[in-house]
Structure 1
Amino acid sequence: MSGNDYLKFMTEQVVAYLDLPQEERKKRKKKEKVPRPVYSSRWLGVLPFAVKTFLRK
């Protein structure tokens, strides 16, 4: 894909997004949000997961 084709594609995407009503854009934004990982996993990595798995078995 050449640079000109990419620019054309991105322009079409932006214009299509801007043509949507504001409520629809807000719905899409909420739908795309991903819940954050669990606090212990986010800050301490895999270690809490490994301990939980070990204790369950």
Structure 2
Amino acid sequence: MTEQVVTYIDSPSEERKNRRAAQKNDPPIYSNRWLGVLPFALRTIRKKSK
């Protein structure tokens, strides 16, 4: 995690702005938007059990 933070800080500010803009333009996951955190929790539990 520390490595990711350092990489993010070392990247140029223009690249960070572009990355944030790209994340805002991504369509939301509709199961999470309409049903809240429940689908996320079920997916997490299923992944941990495998």
Task: Tell me the TM-score normalized by structure 1.
Answer: 0.43
Higher RCO (CA 8 Å, separation ≥ 6 residues): 2
Task: Tell me the TM-score normalized by structure 2.
Answer: 0.48
